[in-house]
Amino acid sequence: MTEPMLTVKDLHAFYGKSHVLRGVHMEIMPGEVIALLGRNGVGRSTTAKAIMGEVPPKGEITFKGQRIDGLESYRIAHLGLGYVPESRDIFPMMTVRENLILGIKDMKKPGRWTIEEMLEMFPNLKERADNLAGVLSGGEKQMLTMCRTLMGNPDLIIIDEPTEGLAPKIVQQVGDMIADIARAGVAILLVEQKLSIALRIAARVYVMGHGEIVYEGTPEDFKTRADIRKEWLEV
């Protein structure tokens, strides 16, 4: 049995006085795809932010055997943890190619993909390589932000709500892309609302409610648990 790549133990987080995460436990194995489900406001995005150090975490977060809670975000990134935030945060005044260049952490250490290879894989982006990123469509921006993080050669990538606000056809494309990333051997923590995408890709499912993990299981098991869906997911 190999060691988990990421271990989250008793993670708490606060926004001012409100106690948002109340002891989250989570494990991700190398190359594993995990879906983190739950209703809006239960703390899924905060979990992602706390792991990445954007929200001060209280608890124990270990990545590849090293404690990362309290580390500066660039150090966490250098350990091989990539983050695609919900806000996407592309650099709008730079071209698609320049955005990708900024994803490279160290020009002397080439990653899995070069910029040209990345553009070959995603023809929509290739067509727009020299356009300003700010004029891309929502789906293209989402692809760009994922590609940009991949340029940094992460071993685990946390993707927060990638399909939010996208048209159904584009949702399908983004889903395909996440499946491609998984096939390349990158572990993924996918924060997602849409069960169709999450259950198609994930090897394991976590459901959050009120700042805690309330269910953990395989997609097959999850499909039989109408009670969980009713209590924690359906509106």
Partner 1 sequence: METIVFSLLNGVIYGLLLFMLSSGLTLIFSMMGVLNFAHASFYMLGAYFAYSIAGVTNFWIALILAPVLVGLVGAAVEKWGLRSVHANGHVAELLFTFGLAYLIDEVVKIIWGRNAVDYRVPELLDFPMFELFGAQYPAYRVFILLVSVGMLAALWFILNRTRAGLIIQAALTHPHMVGHLGHNVPRIFMSVFGAGCALAGLAGVIGGNYLVTDPAMAVQMGPIVFVVVVVGGLGSLTGAFLAAMLLGLMQTFAVGIDASFADIFGWLGLSATSELGGITIASLAPMIPFLMLVLILMVRPRGLMGDREL
Contact flag: residue 64 with partner 1 (CB under 8 A): no
The contact pattern for partner 1, residues 31-60, with x = CB under 8 A and - = no contact, is ---------------------x-x------
Q: Residue 161 or 215: which CB sits closer to partner 1? A: 161
Binding to partner 1 in span 96-125, by CB under 8 A: 98, 101-103, 105-107
- Cβ–Cβ < 8 Å for 211, 20: yes
Determine the straight-line distance between the first and last CA of the chain, rounded to whole angstroms. Answer: 39
Binding-site residue total for partner 1 (CB under 8 A)? 25
Scan for tokens 């394991």, then name that residue.
204
Binding to partner 1 in span 123-152, by CB under 8 A: 148-149, 152
- Least distance to partner 1 from the beta carbon of 95, Å? 10
- Least distance to partner 1 from the beta carbon of 198, Å? 23
Give the residue among 177, 208, 179, 176 at the shortest CA–CA distance from 191: 208
Beta bridge partners of 7: 27, 62
Does residue 16 come out as left (phi exceeding 0), alpha (psi in the -120 to 50 range) or beta?
A: left
Candidates 93, 108, 220, 227: give the one binding partner 1 (CB under 8 A): 93
Cα 185 from Cα 188, distance rounded (Å)? 9
Contact flag: residue 166 with partner 1 (CB under 8 A): no
Cα 218 from Cα 213, distance rounded (Å)? 14
Contact flag: residue 89 with partner 1 (CB under 8 A): yes
Three-class SS state of 10: strand
Which H or E run contains 191?
strand 187-191
Cα 153 from Cα 175, distance rounded (Å)? 20
- Least distance to partner 1 from the beta carbon of 172, Å? 26
Candidates 23, 30, 59, 85: give the one binding partner 1 (CB under 8 A): 85
- Cβ–Cβ < 8 Å for 185, 31: yes
Contact flag: residue 162 with partner 1 (CB under 8 A): no
Q: Residue 76 or 207: which CB sits closer to partner 1? A: 76
Candidates 74, 123, 230, 235: give the one binding partner 1 (CB under 8 A): 74
- Cβ–Cβ < 8 Å for 155, 64: yes
Residues in touch with partner 1 (CB under 8 A): 52, 54, 72-74, 76-78, 82-83, 85, 89, 91, 93-94, 98, 101-103, 105-107, 148-149, 152
